[in-house]
Amino acid sequence: MSSDAVAREVKRRRTFAIISHPDAGKSTMTEALALHARMISEAGAIHGKAGRKSTVSDWMEMEKARGISVSSTALQFNYSGEHSDDDLPNVINLVDTPGHADFSEDTYRVLTAVDAAVMLIDAAKGLEPQTLKLFQVCRHRGIPVITVINKWDRPGQSPLELIDEITERIGLTPTPLYFPVGIAGDFRGLLDRRTGQYIHFTRTAGGAKVAPEEIMDSDDALAREGDEWTAAVEESELLTEMGQDHDQELFLAGQTSPMIFASAMLNFGVRQLLETLVELAPPPAGRLDVDGTVREVTDPFSAVVFKVQAGMDASHRDRLAYMRIVSGEFERGMVVTHAQTGKPFATKYAQAVFGRDRSTVDVAFPGDVVGLVNATALAPGDTLYVERKVQFPPIPSFAPEHFSSLRVNTADKYKQFRKAMDQLDSEGVVQVLRNDLRGDASPVLAAVGPMQFEVVTARMKSEFNVDTTIEPLGYSLARRTDVASAPELDRQRGVEVFTRSDGALLALFSDKWRLQYIEKEHPDLTLEPLVATAD
């Protein structure tokens, strides 16, 4: 395909992630967007409610049982809306991310693969710690953010209070595109601030269907809603006086954030979010390689692996590597080069993923997320390419703060245990540490949060039929060290040295005071902080 044809395909694409604190409604919003794009006929409603479905993006049993997302999933769908060009639909690549802070490393990997983010905020709770952390990652990576105030159908703060909180706490200026008519808990519709029109929503049973919309001019809106419409107009005019109208240049520079008020549960404001993404979110762009050279979207094919996931299909036990296409046209079956090893890699089994459902991908373009089946040689951060060699920067690991040993309960399951441990390690579910003293039979798991350990034991049981016991260790922080320093560190009380699966030597310390003491007494030892992008 010509460069011009690839450029046209790129222009149609939007690739984004939804970030939020747990229980802000992220998976429900993911499904509501799919419903509006007519990918599904009925929303699956919220997890954890007796007799009701779990959302399509949450496929792991642990997710369904707890009503939280603990793994990232990728959904792709077409959307034809007001801002689609040339009568062709836009291609939406939506990457749903874990909301729980224990899985922020997985979320960070996802944010290396998207061009924009939707920051979902609970109307009642406002900004929460995990949301703040994820926003800082977006700011660091230069990812523009669209803000959605969710759950406006429930009691919550006032719109201006939420806007002030965001401005003061993270220095991002919200510029609402749509302003709510009706206070939180009495969601009637939206004032389109750019047209002055009123969008009135009608509820459907259980929010299972797309909410019907009625568009009115200001006079009809005033006649229908009275004081509620007047209040919305007055507050919108106040925002205009304060300079909080949308500016595309400031949005892309990360200084402002278009804002929408919505209810994912009722499907209110969801179409407006889709239209905003298509109109304002940037299409895929070139990416810097390790040498600082830009790989343009029209250059020959290249891609970055940002996620490896197994256990999605219990009947096949396959392993899926998600790659974000950076440049060029991908054709199923093409032989690409794995930059980390220099070896060829066949792409015969390429799939698009929608929850647990899959379909074969024959062709894909920059911005698309494609799953490669049984990609045992691939790991997060790896680069694939054709023709001119390229390698993109690796995805850094987080500094772990929780450490536990893991052992198999019965000796006859040791072979399965080793296989499972290697798989979960390569996926990046946890960091796996080993040393001669503990041996392979009792590896140490290092994690950002303790729930990662629960995922390991649950998947050991469900996917490999291996019962394991996990025992917390008395360490709370890690430092990178070297071969020369390791013997002395191993002699110290409250310290243990391990080798990580990537070959890095890590020294684990019982607490920060033990670390400070050893740094003072042995200033010649190598003790380097690990990358800590979770903070």
Tens place of pLDDT per residue across the chain (535 aa): 789 999 999 999 999 998 888 788 888 888 888 888 776 656 553 333 333 344 444 444 544 444 444 344 678 888 887 766 667 889 999 887 665 454 566 777 788 899 999 999 999 999 887 788 778 878 888 899 999 999 999 999 999 999 999 999 999 999 999 999 999 999 999 999 999 999 999 998 877 788 899 999 999 999 999 999 999 999 999 999 999 999 999 999 999 999 999 999 999 999 999 999 999 999 999 999 999 999 999 999 999 999 887 654 555 456 788 999 999 999 999 999 999 999 999 998 888 766 566 788 899 999 999 989 878 888 889 999 999 999 999 887 677 889 999 999 988 899 989 888 887 887 777 889 999 988 888 899 998 778 878 888 888 888 889 999 999 999 999 999 999 999 999 999 999 999 998 888 999 999 999 999 999 999 999 999 886 444 4
Q: Which residues are annotated as a binding site?
A: 96-100
Q: How far apart are CA 236 and CA 213, in angstroms?
A: 21
pLDDT at position 285: 96
Q: Which residue ranges does the chain devote to CATH 3.30.70.3280?
A: 402-529
CATH 2.40.30.10 maps onto the chain at 287-385
Tell me how crowded residue 344 is: count the other CB atoms within 10 A of its CB.
Answer: 9
Contact 256, 247 (CB under 8 A): yes
Question: pLDDT tens across 217-241, in order?
Answer: 999 999 999 999 999 999 999 999 9
Instruction: Delimit the CATH 3.40.50.300 region(s) of the chain.
Output: 3-280
Instruction: Please state the length of the chain.
Output: 535
Q: Where are the beta strands (DSSP E) in 284-426?
A: 287-288, 294-295, 302-310, 319-327, 330-331, 335-338, 343-346, 350-354, 357-360, 363-364, 369-373, 383-385, 402-408
Q: Which of 116, 77, 9, 8 is closest to 363 using CA atoms? A: 9
Element (H, E) at 265: none
The answer to whether the pTM exceeds 0.85 is no
Q: Given this model, what pLDDT does residue 216 score?
A: 96
Q: At what angle do helices 26-36 and 270-280 cross, to 10 degrees?
A: 80
Please state which of the four CATH numbers 3.40.50.1110, 3.40.50.300, 2.60.40.10, 3.40.50.10790 is assigned to the domain occupying 3-280.
3.40.50.300
479 - beta bridge partners? 507, 529
Question: Does the 402-529 domain belong in CATH 3.30.70.3280?
Answer: yes
| 362 phi/psi in degrees, rounded to 5 | -95, -35
Q: Measured between alpha carbons, how far is 445 from 456 in angstroms, rounded to an integer?
A: 9
Question: CATH code for 287-385?
Answer: 2.40.30.10
Q: Which of 105, 110, 111 is nearest to 455 (CA)?
A: 105
Among the listed residues 254, 267, 5, the one whose alpha carbon sits nearest the alpha carbon of residue 142 = 254
Category of 84 on φ-ψ map: left (φ > 0), alpha (ψ -120 to 50) or beta: beta
CB neighbour list of residue 234: distance below 8 Å, 6 or more residues apart: none
The alpha carbons of the chain give a radius of gyration, in whole angstroms, of 24
Looking at residue 366, its pLDDT comes to: 97
Please give the annotated binding residues for GTP, written as ranges.
96-100
